[in-house]
Structure formats: structure tokens, C-alpha cells
Amino acid sequence: MFLLKTRARRQAGALALAFCIVAGCVIPARGAQQSGIPQLRKHGTATQLVVDGKPFLLLGGELGNSSSSSLEYMRPIWPQLVSLNLNTVLVPVYWELIEPTEDRFDFSLVDGLIQEARRHQLRLVPLWFASWKNSMSCYAPAWVKTNQQRFPRAEDKAGNGMEILSPFSQENLAADARAFAALMRHLREVDSRDHTVIMVQVENEIGMIPDSRDRSVIANKLFNQSVPPELMNYLEQHRDTLIPELRAMWAVTKFKTRGTWEEVFGPGVGTDEVFMAWHFARHANRVAELGKAEYPLPMFVNAALIRPGHQPGQYPSAGPLPHLLNIWRAGAPQIDFLSPDIYFQNFAEWCRKYHQSGNPLFIPEAILGPLSAVNAFYAIGQHDAIGFSPFSIESVAEPTRSLLAGSYDILAQLTPLILAHQGKNEMAGFLPEVAEQRAPQQARLGGYTLNVTYERPSPSVTQGAQTSDPISGGLAIAVGPDEFIFAGIGLTVTFEAHTSGPPLVGILSVQEGKYVDGQWQPGRWLNGDQTHQGRHLRLPAGKLDLQRIKLYRYR
């Protein structure tokens, strides 16, 4: 058992600020650059995760909540994860298990996970299940839970405590941040050479429910005080580029720059949410700050998304949601980006909402199912996603297993190309906006307009397995003049020219194939029925495919 006394080191953690965010662009600290530890780097308009000095495309899966609490339980799971072609596993790390007694740390579980990940050539993204996990504080250690006097809870209107640690307590913050700093210090000690651990998620789905805000005495007091100048200054400086929902809210008071929360943002649950978001962000920021002072890995927070028509308090409010992006960015500059957990069908819409205002897209959780295969293509092709990771990956079953493994296999083959073409408008992703979508979608790429229609599998067999879901989607990369790579399933694409020159477009060749060590290896030459006699490119329904097409122009 690894035991560590931490008090002597507590103060040291506060000193270094390792990362900063300037207008959404992450600048690694000098220390991170020099030591080669995983970091974020701009590449065109994209933000890339750099591991061992090279950009890294994260093909991941998140474990169910309890699996990583037992190394024995995990033993048969590792090979399954490898067979899914994952390169990274997102693993919960539990505050209650690493600090079962105050100030006595046990990292044996973390060490075991790192060891097994290395043995299976997988990278890890630990998820810090600490003060908040899906709004609740169920992962706080017993010594925190049972000492409500010292570690206060959020309270409802009647003064009853909830199992939600108050973000307004310095004692709560100090305990969480100390434990996180100890974890990051330990990671530096055991992993700063191998870089098995490549990013860290701070807390999990922070949010306030079933009330729109904490009603404790301290919360009420702060709510009736002035909005902190740090937030006011940020909002004033970014007034013209704020996320429209927040700007509209502030516009109601004619952009008042001084006053209580209700004076600045108007009365209502929306203001409760902004108030809570600021304080949750300040907490997460301090936790990340002390963690990065020990070991400055990229850090992010994730959000439970809003059900349509729900109001703050009816959904886990005040988390890192798109309409609160500015609040979180102002309050938590140590957090490198905000991430969505996408369990809804409108996957493309949520990707767009999180890939705005300089926030890079990384999806730590998404619903696990046949659509995972095409959602990964879309997020990576259309939004330069750092990575994709469906939830409860160890419970995967057919047909999702074959589809996801197939999709990750193709994405792994394409990784060097994808990383080279990110951030330059040289890639597009395709996904039906709704399951029944019939109308073609258009994308402009490499001097052409691509008209994409989606097919549905018929009869319901996909990748050799029964499924009733319509699986279609994919990505395209403009790899050279008049030349594209297409990957995906159930797509038909026609081409139109949108640059000057001969107006008509013909197909010179379509090859099916694969990439081996970055080199294209053609298989069948597709023509005749497979391209509708030269009229279109088609990735058939029911089978993931990779094709390379050359076009030409005529009149």
C-alpha cells in the first residue's frame, strides 16, 4: 500500500500556474513543452492533444462507474478493450478509495490500472470522481460525508442538506484539491516518463438538481452580494462575442456592470444557474490549478446535457453547458476545455454547440450503440474532435462491438492523415441530423460541393449482425487536388465543381482499400454498378468501407 503524508506539501501546490487560456486558445506552460508531457497544441484552427511529441487521436471508451474499483474485475476486460481497437480508456478514479482516511493516500488501484494499461498498450484518462459525480457527492470519502459540520452541504429552501457538497465552503474545496494534487503528484512520480496517462477529467457532470441553486445561509449571502469583478471584467471585455443565450440574458438589464446577481442578470432561475456555475467553476479551477502545479496534464470538465424544455433545477444545471461556456471560461481558466456527454439522438447538434468559441471538441461519454461507429466519424471529420469515447464500453455487445471495432480500425488507419488535415477545412463529417433524414446534405471540400444522401440498411443487417438502427455516416478527407478519401457506411455522394474551370465533374477512379503504415493499399477498383456507371461514390449500407476517389472536370 502506498501511503503518503501530504500536509508538508500543501502550500507548494498553490504556486505554479501551468496553463493559461487566451481567447479559447490553450498555451502550454514552458515546463510542459520541455518535458514532453502530454499537452494541447494548435494546428490550424484545431486543437490537438500531443503525446510523446506527436499529435494523438483518442479512440476511446469510458468504463462503467464501478468497474475500475477492482483490478480483478478488470482482468478479463482489458483484452476486450484491445479487441475493440481502442487506444485509450477513460477510467474513474475514486476519491473515497484513494483517501479512505484523511491525509493517508492509497494509490495501489491507480498503479494497478496504469500497469495493466501499459501491458495492453492502452493510454488512460482518469476521471476524478470526487466532490461531484452527476451532481451528487457520493464519491466523497466517509470522513467527509459524516462530518457535515466541517464539510457543509448545499441546502434546500427548508434548510435540509442534500448529498451535494456546497461549492461555497473553503474546507470542502481544500480537501478535494489536496487529494487531487496528491493524485497528480503520484502520476508525475510514476508516469512522467511513459505518459500512459494523457489527460484528466476534473469531477464528473457537476450540476445542481433538484433546485436551481444552493439555499444555504452562505449561498444566500453571496447571492445578494455584488457579482465578482473578475466575472464582470470578463463579460465586459467579451461582450460582443459572448454565447448568444448569455448575452441575451445580460441584455435584459442593458448590460449592467455592477450590482447583485439579480441586478446584473435579472431575477429568475437562469440567474440562479449563472451564480452556481460561477462558483462550481471556481471550485473546479482551484482543484485543477493545484493538480497542474504537481503535473500539468490537459484537464477538462464534462456536462450532463439539457432535456428540451427543461428549466434550471429540472436538469443538472450550472455545469459546463454551452450556454454557460463564458462563465466557466472566466471562472476556470485552468480547465482547458468543456466536454459534452451525449446521450441524445441529436448528436450533430450537440457537437456544434461544444465546438464553438474556441472550445475544442472532446466527447468523453456518448451513448454506446450501433450509432457510436458513425458518431465517431462525424465528430472527428466535421469537428476536429480530440477524441471520442462511448460509455460503459465493457458492456458492448453485437452489433455495436463489430461496428465500433470496425470504425476504430479505419480511424486508426487514417490517423496520420486526419491529424495532418485537421484545422484546415480539408475534412468533413457526415451524419443524418434526424434518423429519417432523406434530403441530401451538402459539404464544400477541396474545390467541390459534395451532395451526400444517407442509405438505410436493408434488410436490417449491419456489419454481419442484426440491427434495427439506421446506420449511416462517415467522413471525407481532401487528400490532394481532385482526390478524396471517404470512410463510413451507407453514404452516396455526387460531386459538383465550385471553382472556375470546366463545369462538369467525372470520376476517374474509385478504389476500395486500406492504409498500412500510412501507405494506401488498393483492393478492388470500383466501377460499373458500384459507382452507378461513374455517377457517384457509394459506401454501401451494412458494411463499413474505405474508398479513395479521383475526380476530373469536363465540359
Residues that bind ligand DGJ (CB under 6 A): 65, 134, 204-205, 341, 365, 391
CB nearer to ligand DGJ: give 328 or 515.
328
Cα separation, 429 vs 488, in Å, equals 10
CB of 434 to ligand DGJ, least distance (A): 23
CB of 451 to ligand DGJ, least distance (A): 37
CB of 240 to ligand DGJ, least distance (A): 34
CB nearer to ligand DGJ: give 65 or 285.
65
What contacts 397, CB < 8 A, 6 or more positions away? none
Q: In whole angstroms, what separates CA 169 from the centre of its chain?
A: 28
CB nearer to ligand DGJ: give 391 or 454.
391
**3-state per-residue secondary structure call for 193-258:** CCCCECCEEEEECCCECCCCCCCCHHHHHHHCCECCHHHHHHHHHCHHHCCHHHHHHHHCCCCCCC
CB nearer to ligand DGJ: give 277 or 549.
277
Residue nearest to ligand DGJ (CB): 205
CB nearer to ligand DGJ: give 368 or 537.
368
348 burial type by CB count under 10 A (0-12 exposed, 13-18 middle, 19+ buried): buried
Instruction: Indicate the pairing of strand 362-363 with strand 387-388.
Output: parallel
Residue 19 has, within 13 A of its CA and on its CB side, a CA count of 33
CB of 153 to ligand DGJ, least distance (A): 21
DSSP notation for 87-145: SEEEEEEEHHHH-SBTTB---HHHHHHHHHHHHTT-EEEEEEEEEEETTB-TTS-HHHH
CB of 364 to ligand DGJ, least distance (A): 8
CB nearer to ligand DGJ: give 270 or 369.
369
Cα separation, 343 vs 140, in Å, equals 26
Distances (CA, A) of 209 to 135, 201, 468: 7, 21, 35
CB of 140 to ligand DGJ, least distance (A): 16
CB nearer to ligand DGJ: give 339 or 453.
339
CB of 399 to ligand DGJ, least distance (A): 21
Q: Check residue 432 and report its DSSP letter.
A: -
The grid coordinates listed for 172 are 470542502
CB nearer to ligand DGJ: give 206 or 330.
206
CB of 134 to ligand DGJ, least distance (A): 5
Cα separation, 523 vs 543, in Å, equals 15
Closest CA to 551 of 476, 447, 451, 430: 447
CB nearer to ligand DGJ: give 293 or 304.
304
Cα separation, 162 vs 178, in Å, equals 23
CB nearer to ligand DGJ: give 94 or 391.
391
Q: Are 175 and 98 in contact (CB under 8 A)?
A: no
CB of 73 to ligand DGJ, least distance (A): 17
Helix, strand, coil % over all residues of the chain, rounded to 5 = 35, 30, 35
Cα separation, 418 vs 407, in Å, equals 14
Q: Tell which phi-psi region holds residue 17, choosing left (phi > 0), alpha (psi between -120 and 50) or beta.
A: beta
CB nearer to ligand DGJ: give 138 or 497.
138
CB of 325 to ligand DGJ, least distance (A): 19
Report the b/e string of 434-463 with b at 16+ CB within 10 A: eeeeeeebebebbbbebebbbbbbeeeebb
CB of 91 to ligand DGJ, least distance (A): 12
Q: Are 426 and 488 in contact (CB under 8 A)?
A: no
CB nearer to ligand DGJ: give 343 or 520.
343
CB of 316 to ligand DGJ, least distance (A): 10
Cα separation, 533 vs 179, in Å, equals 64
Cα separation, 180 vs 182, in Å, equals 5
